[in-house]
Structure formats: structure tokens, C-alpha cells
């Protein structure tokens, strides 16, 4: 594929989507069947299904688009002019525990510019797709970001880095502050899927630190094509390797930036009774 107009990108998406769905079927072979887990670190898991899914996608994309390079979470790779960034299972910990909140993520990029995006959550029966200039779709229906304009009314999502137990820049304080300032902050453990949920209005925004290109390449395009805004924490252009990712509906973008920068007070860690469980007022 040499042309990068919307029609050519849509043809690329149509050709690759069956490959992604087949990879999703591979994942479902292991879901809730106690897959063997190998630890990259205590909070960073990998299974044979991560590896099988990535191998399937790598081989299929090489056959369909030999001029494209491939960069996968498990097998790596060097990006060329056009590169697919692939996470074969985003949310492997969820997958390994039988939790349905996981997905595969595939984003075709030219440099830091996403061109085609696919996020497929097979256990949930959800599929988001986008091409540059062509809009975002979930299960065939066009997506649009939410209309929420008040941070107090917003529902956000976030996550924590795998190194959260050992590094001070772990997002905990920001999470608490924005959780107190909004309708709540969800943390479901699959960044690509949560970014996709910004594109369809389920979340008003998402931020995280320590993300990799395969986590954000597809989701960034989904949000942009649905009318949202994607940036680094300071509002500058997104770099796929910056590790500081913010996506919102646009209307609450500045407010979330302010929260990330420490503009909202962190609530006290109260409400814990003698049992160690949250008191009634603390349950959200």
C-alpha cells in the first residue's frame, strides 16, 4: 500500500480486520482455561496466547503488507516508514485470571501519526475500528466522544505502571485527586480498551504513564476520529514513546491536565474502620 488517502486506508483496514478477528479467536481458546503464565515481573504477565496471537498477526501482516514493518510487545521489531504497533493481549493479567476486560490492539502508523486502528475485545464482543479521515466505529456503528463539559460530572479512567511498587512516579496521588474531583476514576487494567471507551463516550477521559506505542497507537486514532483530543500531559503533540498519554472528549481536557499537574487536592486516606474495610461512605 503506497497511497495513504482515506479510501486506501479503509481498504487496508478491511483486509486486515479478518486477521485481527482470527487472532481474537486464538485468545478465546485460552480465556477461562487456566493458561500457563510466565512472569516478566510481578505485575507484568505473559501467556502462550500472547505469543500465539502475536505470531499469527506478524505472519499475516507480512503476507498482506510486506512493505510494512511490525513492532510487537512480545517480539519487538524496528519501525520503518509504515509500522504496525501490536499488543496481542492488552490486559494479560485480566486474561490470565479469567477477567473479560482484555483486548488486542493494532495500529498502523507513519512516524507518530496513526493511520489505521483496531481494538478488539473478544470476550466482550466489542470491536472498534478507525482510519484517518474516516471516523471511528464500534461494531459497525459510528462513535462520538461524550458531550460532558464539567470535570465534576466526568467519568475518567487511568492505570498504574508495572513498576508502581518501586517508583514514586506511580500515578497514585493523581488518581486519588481526580477520583475525588469527578464522578469517579475507573482502573480496569487494559489501556487500549479504556482509550477505545473514550472514543465511544463511555469515558470522558483517560490518562496513564509508562505506556508503550502498542498500547496507544490504535486508541489515539479512535479518539481523534471520534472528535476527541489526544496529547501528552502538557497538551503538546502526542509522541508514541513519550509514556505520558492523555485522551479526552476535548471538553474536559484542560481540567484533566490541571488535575495531573496537581491542581486538585488529594483527599485524606480516611474512612477505614477497625476491620480494614472501607466504611459505607467510602464505597464507590
Residues with a known catalytic role: 73, 87, 89-90, 92, 215
What is the four-CA torsion angle of 245, 249, 250, 254, rounded to 10 degrees? -60
Q: How many CB atoms lie within 10 A of CB 20?
A: 25
Angle at CA of residue 253, ends 249 and 255, nearest 5°:
135
Single out the residue of 147, 157, 218, 226 nearest to residue 186, CA to CA. Answer: 157
What is the four-CA torsion angle of 13, 114, 51, 137, rounded to 10 degrees? -50
Cell of 2: 503506497
Q: Tally the residues of the chain.
A: 284
Find all residues with CB under 8 Å of 28, minimum gap 6, and list them.
122, 123
Residue 232 gets the label, from left (phi > 0), alpha (psi -120 to 50) or beta, of beta
Amino acid at each position: 500500500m503506497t497511497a495513504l488517502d482515506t479510501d486506501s486506508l479503509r481498504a487496508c483496514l478491511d483486509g486486515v480486520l479478518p486477521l485481527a478477528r482470527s487472532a481474537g479467536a486464538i485468545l478465546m481458546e485460552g480465556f477461562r482455561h487456566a493458561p500457563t503464565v510466565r512472569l516478566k515481573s510481578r505485575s507484568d504477565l505473559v501467556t502462550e496466547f500472547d505469543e500465539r496471537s502475536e505470531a499469527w498477526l506478524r505472519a499475516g501482516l507480512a503476507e498482506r503488507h510486506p512493505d510494512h514493518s511490525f513492532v510487537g510487545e512480545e517480539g519487538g521489531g524496528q519501525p520503518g516508514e509504515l509500522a504496525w504497533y501490536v499488543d496481542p493481549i492488552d490486559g494479560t493479567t485480566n486474561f490470565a485470571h479469567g477477567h473479560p476486560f482484555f483486548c488486542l490492539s493494532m495500529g498502523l502508523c507513519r512516524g507518530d501519526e496513526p493511520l489505521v486502528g483496531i481494538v478488539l475485545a473478544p470476550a466482550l464482543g466489542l470491536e472498534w475500528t478507525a482510519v484517518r479521515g474516516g471516523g471511528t466505529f464500534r461494531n459497525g456503528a459510528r462513535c462520538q466522544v461524550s458531550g460532558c463539559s464539567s470535570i465534576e460530572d466526568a467519568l475518567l479512567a487511568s492505570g498504574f505502571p508495572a513498576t508502581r511498587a518501586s517508583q514514586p512516579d506511580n500515578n497514585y496521588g493523581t488518581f486519588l485527586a481526580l477520583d475525588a474531583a469527578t464522578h469517579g476514576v475507573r482502573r480496569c487494567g487494559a489501556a487500549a480498551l479504556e482509550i477505545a471507551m473514550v472514543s465511544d463516550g463511555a469515558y470522558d477521559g483517560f490518562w496513564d504513564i509508562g505506556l508503550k506505542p502498542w498500547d496507544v497507537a490504535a486508541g489515539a486514532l479512535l479518539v481523534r476520529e471520534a472528535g476527541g483530543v489526544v496529547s501528552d500531559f502538557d497538551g503538546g503533540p502526542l509522541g508514541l514513546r513519550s509514556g505520558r498519554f492523555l485522551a479526552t472528549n476535548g471538553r474536559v481536557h484542560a481540567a484533566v491536565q490541571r488535575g495531573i499537574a496537581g491542581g486538585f487536592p488529594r483527599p485524606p486516606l480516611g474512612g477505614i474502620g477497625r476491620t480494614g474495610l472501607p466504611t459505607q461512605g467510602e464505597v464507590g
